[in-house]
Amino acid sequence: MDILNMDACAQSAALEKGELSATELMEATLARIEAVNPTVNGIVNLADGDRLLAKAREADNAPRSGWLHGMPIAIKDLANAAGFPTSRGSPLFAGEVAETDDLMVSRLRAAGAIVIGKTNTPEFGLGSHTFNPVHGATRNPYDITRSAGGSSGGAAAALATGMLSIADGSDMMGSLRNPAGWNNVYGMRPTWGSVPADPVGDMFMHQLATSGPMARSPADLAALLDIMTGSDPRVPFSSNSPATFTKIDEAPKKLRIGWLGDWDGAFPYEDGIDEISQAAMGKFADLGHRTETLKAPFDADAMWQSWIDLRSFAVAGGLQADYADEARRAYLKPAALWEIERGLQMSAKDVLHASNVRSDWFRRTTRLFESHDVLVLPSAQLWPFDVDWTYPETIAGHAMDTYHRWMQVVVPAGLIGLPVVNVPVGFGANGLPAGIQLIGPRGSDAALLQLAQQWHGATHWPQERPPKI
């Protein structure tokens, strides 16, 4: 058997039964990384192989500590893992070794995971294209001349190529959804607050980003999510969520699924994106669900303005000290400077207005979810683009007026903290993969995962069409 193409839960079961050792799994993982990573550049700061094999042998001789016992994982290079550098893709932090684990990482280690390195990300996680001056670009394993997406692009490419069987990621503006769609894997942005952030800095103002799981099956997403979730008394708004893995194989009821299309023309799509997404809607109908096309439920321009204002406000809050130091400012990429300068210029009235629009949109979704269980949008508005681009400047003849306008399609869910699962939906005529977002009301994480699992049982896209690399 090819142990690296097994689902994470299958690997875990084999380890528990003694059919596979952690040492064998680590040896195979390191061999795959040596063979593939120089081409795709998904994993960075890989630990010494002898040290990792020693940790695997320790796991083989120790009682099981959780379902991840003895399993390799690499942490997205925005989070701290003790003993590993956290560069955040920036020369300002390259080589700075973390002394402690972030909360999420500590939970993964407590469940038995062996941290082997980090996964690549854009500088400060800004932009859905993974490249930075410290580690370079991550390439799409389905076409190495194309982007792997981002900001969890390194994780997605590592999953697609079998270098990892599960991965963590984070998502402010599609970073668990766009790269999953572009690498033919699953990624989940959970209900905001269910995976608590670290209790540092401001913990009340910025409710946009969250960590979440990535995998090659929804069952693996659920199993990993159950480790990542859970309230922490030090973190406001953190919540305890019901376990998702134990009910993952329960068939979902007949659902009412609404296709939001191109938001009445507000979201331009590259040729083929609408077609492959609507084909997926047809598949959901074949699975017994009721599907229909919906009119745009909210003003796209108002939502976009709310989003970019709240995002700039958040980014400026995190990076203003680096910006204030002229020597450090010189190392900030243009996207970071743009965000910081916008954020610093905002008044309290500007921020309040943006949050009021966000509140209006949330109120509108509560009515939408009275008549529909799931809403659907593409996970990206175009196919993976040239890896040497900074960002696409046009889509279908429409000019993109910011570095991130091309990802506007992920804003409706991200702005108000709704749970979303990216499911892979196949390949275009160009041979490149695509995905769609399954969006549910707050707290519907388990139901979305059940729907995704039903989809996976009918399609098995990651297993049916792995990259030839």
The domain segmentation of the chain, as residue ranges, is 3-301+348-464
Architecture of domain 3-301+348-464: Alpha-Beta Complex (3.90)
Q: Which H or E run includes 315?
A: helix 300-324
Cα dihedral across residues 444, 446, 450, 453: positive or negative: positive
Q: What residues are labeled active site? A: 76, 151, 175
Amino acid at 86: T
- CA atoms of 250 and 253, how far apart (whole Å): 9
What pLDDT is stored for residue 1 in this prediction?
A: 60
Distant-in-sequence, close-in-space partners of 453: CB < 8 Å, separation ≥ 6 = 217, 218, 219, 222, 248, 249
**What is the DSSP code (8-state) at residue 46?**
P
**What is the DSSP code (8-state) at residue 265?**
T
DSSP-assigned beta bridge partners for residue 75: 118
C-alpha dihedral over 366, 295, 406, 198, to 10 degrees? 10
Q: Tens of pLDDT along the chain (469 residues)?
A: 699 999 999 999 999 999 999 999 999 999 999 999 999 999 999 999 999 999 999 999 999 999 999 999 999 999 999 999 999 999 999 999 999 999 999 999 999 999 999 999 999 999 999 999 999 999 999 999 999 999 999 999 999 999 999 999 999 999 999 999 999 999 999 999 999 999 999 999 899 999 999 999 999 999 999 999 999 999 999 988 889 999 999 999 999 999 999 999 999 999 999 999 999 999 999 999 999 999 999 999 999 999 999 999 999 999 999 999 999 999 999 999 999 999 999 999 999 999 999 999 999 999 999 999 999 999 999 999 999 999 999 999 999 999 999 999 999 999 999 999 999 999 999 999 999 999 999 999 999 999 999 999 999 999 999 999 8
Q: Are 211 and 458 in contact (CB under 8 A)?
A: no
What pLDDT is stored for residue 240 in this prediction?
A: 87
Judged by phi (left if over 0) then psi (alpha if -120 to 50, else beta), residue 58 lies in: alpha
Q: Tell me the two tokens of residue 197.
A: 């952030």
C-alpha dihedral over 213, 166, 227, 187, to 10 degrees? 20
What pLDDT is stored for residue 241 in this prediction?
A: 83
Distant-in-sequence, close-in-space partners of 412: CB < 8 Å, separation ≥ 6 = 260, 298, 303, 361, 375, 377, 418, 439
